[in-house]
Amino acid sequence: MQGTTQKSKDSAKAAETPMPQASKNSDSMVIPVHSVPIEAVDKLTPSWQRQLSDVIEDPAELLHILGLSTDLLPAALAGSSDFQMRVPRAFVQRMQPNNLHDPLLRQVLPLDDEQTRPPAGYSLDPLGEAAANPKPGIVHKYRRRVLLITNGHCAVNCRYCFRRHFPYEDNHLSLQAWNENLDYIRQDTTLNEVILSGGDPLASSDKRLFKLINSIRDIPHIQRIRIHTRLPIVIPDRITDDLLAGLTEQAHRPLNIIVVVHANHAQEIDDAVGDALLKMNQAGMTVLNQSVLLAGINDCAQTLCDLSERLFQYRTLPYYLHLLDPVIGAQHFDVPEKTAKALIEECLLALPGFLVPKLVREIASEGSKTPI
């Protein structure tokens, strides 16, 4: 991401991936402390963590895998230097080779339309989060809910992301800052819900995530925890039995856990993703999906209906369909409000009401999302 330096990304990866330790003997030769072969260490690392460490960040590699022309490379590199391209291989496997218009590819590959001059009203911080950032790591915009920036990186960098310019490096937290944020939540007894967002909260190790969630469970006025994550969609192996057990464990005060995933097109939901959604549902979590309405990707009533049907096949309800947040670099994804309303009207004719997401726009100064 822009604002996420290579160094911080590397350190994030290092924090998530166990490494063989090394030390020096008396002859100053570097030898491993344990003679564990690297393959064995790899096997000890959960599959999802290995996949997270092995995301594609080089546009040339992505173009090569998909058989696309290297003519696209200069624009892709230019876009990636502004906001790093980042895409898990499990997501790439769902893309159609030789198709520049593939709806999954278009979400992740920088193209030259990112460099066009944005219309008036586009900004680096379209939702005014800087003003609602009372302490590093906290965004407090809405009554009764507070959002914690759980970590500074995602498994995938979506080209339309409203946080593509978010200063994650200023929100990288020491343990002390972390505890101060928990104190902020403890002291504000009007709060009843904590939203874990990011970056992607599920990109954190289980140990770190459970520590945070159990601390929140101990705050008596908090009734539910909402996890905003795209990991079950892009790396479904993240939904392990250990994760589900930790999120639903009863030793601490039980809380409602709501998982809001993010898929924009039915093609994102293959059988492995479907299994992950069902497992979360079967573990007792409420699973919802939010999407962004994106020109050239899902701005078609049939595509939106197919997404809702596919989600519900795996017991996941469509929640929000967001109009694009006007962030600089994403202007080419905008769908006019009038078109968006017409699409939703078509969906209402084709689907039962519970499968039609709420069309909303987020306005920086408003106390809630604005229904359209």
Residues that bind ligand SF4 (CB under 6 A): 154, 156-158, 161, 163, 198, 200, 230, 262
Which residue type is seen at 17? T
Residue 28 Cβ vs ligand SF4, minimum distance, rounded to whole Å: 44
- Pick between residue 164 and residue 217 the one whose CB is nearest to ligand SF4: 164
Residue 200 Cβ vs ligand SF4, minimum distance, rounded to whole Å: 6
Residue 185 Cβ vs ligand SF4, minimum distance, rounded to whole Å: 21
- Alpha helices (H) in the chain, listed in sequence order: 6-16, 38-44, 47-53, 59-66, 73-82, 89-92, 105-108, 175-187, 206-217, 231-234, 241-248, 271-282, 301-313, 337-350
Contacts of 1 (CB under 8 A, 6+ apart): 83, 84, 86, 153, 154, 157, 161, 163, 164, 166, 168
Residue 177, burial from CB neighbour count under 10 angstroms (0-12, 13-18, 19+): middle
Residue 238 Cβ vs ligand SF4, minimum distance, rounded to whole Å: 13
- Pick between residue 141 and residue 230 the one whose CB is nearest to ligand SF4: 230
How far is Cα 32 from Cα 21, in angstroms, rounded to an integer?
Answer: 6
- Pick between residue 156 and residue 301 the one whose CB is nearest to ligand SF4: 156
Residue 42 Cβ vs ligand SF4, minimum distance, rounded to whole Å: 26
- Pick between residue 194 and residue 294 the one whose CB is nearest to ligand SF4: 294
- Pick between residue 173 and residue 231 the one whose CB is nearest to ligand SF4: 231
Angle at 234 between CA 168 and CA 162, to 5 degrees: 35
**Token pair in block for residue 248:** 């639903």
